[in-house]
Amino acid sequence: MYALVFPGQGSQSVGMGRELYESFPCAKAVFEEADDALSFHLTRLMFEGPEEELTLTKNSQPAIMTVSIAALRVLTDEMNADLKPACCAGHSLGEYTALTASGVISFWDAVKLVRNRGIFMQEAVPEGKGAMAALIGAKPDDVKKMCETLAPNGEVRPANFNCPGQIVISGLTEFIDNAIAQAKTFGIKRAVKLNVSAPFHSQFMKPAADKLKEEFAKISWNEAKYDIIANVSAKPVRNPEEIRESLYAQTFSPVRWEESVAFMTENLGVDTFCELGAGEVLAGLIKKCKKGINIMSAGTPGSLEAIREKLL
């Protein structure tokens, strides 16, 4: 049994997707559709940069989604892969890509939605006021204690439970800086401030979630063809109402990725993960979550052919 998984923000790089664009008409069509939907040349930014502009949340989110959907279309349309995954999942932004792959929303609507998501998230907190940090060698109970001690009013809270020993915290910059400085006193080996511009998956993203809910009402939603493992619950969702509720809550709630991987392997029998899109971030996390699992990352013609041969 295999799962299709889709990366989130942080997987972007200048030149991403160019090989797919140049090799397959169906992939080129995806890039062109993104440009048309957003009314600006996202493809040029992806291929030529500058990197600092591509890294902006409003640009990186639709860019990462576009490469993932282009890779998926190459598999299904060009390589004639009859995909029948046990489920789909994505990390944060990647959950929107998983919904697109499962037929819940159209790519046209999805790429506009994540563009707006990036804008709303950045607008929710003034630049410089929010931050995130990765805690290495961290146990959930230690992180919880640290947050409750140093930020009793919720100024900092866990944002991503990525894999054993890696938890990301999110919140107000001054509290994040203090948490980094005092991490070792709570039994955490190392704390690294992340290069992000807002405190994602924290209570401070609630205004962004409310704006997103308004956007949800403007588009069509379908029943998912495959189970979607929701970030917020680490459980499967399929019907549009529960999907929208999960996405709304996901904006200001922790991403439970480690639990999601456990559910897929232990409850759905998944023994192979196929990461479609740019980079290999999820492959690295999944390896730490579960030993002895087959993991493949594909965002180039050769790697997609390898996935096709493995699965079919």
Using the predicted structure, report yes or no on whether residue 312 has a pLDDT greater than 80. Answer: no
The catalytic position among 201, 253, 260, 297 is 201
The catalytic position among 11, 92, 246, 253 is 92
Cβ contact 272:293 at 8 Å: yes
Q: Which CATH superfamily is domain 2-124+204-311 in?
A: Malonyl-Coenzyme A Acyl Carrier Protein, domain 2 (3.40.366.10)
- pLDDT tens column, 55-94: 999 999 999 999 999 999 999 999 988 999 999 999 999 9
d(CA 296, CA 282): 10
What's the mean pLDDT in 139-143?
Answer: 95
Using the predicted structure, report yes or no on whether residue 120 has a pLDDT greater than 90. Answer: yes
Question: What are the percentages of helix, strand and coil residues in the chain, rounded to 5?
Answer: 50, 15, 30
- pLDDT tens column, 170-197: 999 999 999 999 999 999 999 999 988 7
What's the mean pLDDT in 287-304?
Answer: 93
pLDDT value for 121: 94
- The percent of residues above 90 in pLDDT, for the chain, comes to 93
Buried b / exposed e over 178-187, threshold 16 CB at 10 Å, is bbbeebeebe
Using the predicted structure, report yes or no on whether residue 10 has a pLDDT greater than 90. Answer: no
Tokens of 123: 């607008």
d(CA 186, CA 190): 11
Burial class (CB in 10 A: 0-12, 13-18, 19+), 195: exposed
Q: So where are the chain's domains?
A: 2-124+204-311, 130-196
- pLDDT tens column, 209-253: 999 999 999 999 999 999 999 999 999 999 999 999 999 999 999
**pTM for this one?**
0.96
pLDDT value for 48: 96
d(CA 102, CA 141): 35
- At the top level of CATH, the class of 130-196 is alpha beta
Amino acid (1-letter code) at residue 14: V
Is 91 a residue of the active site? no
d(CA 294, CA 274): 9
Cβ contact 4:274 at 8 Å: yes
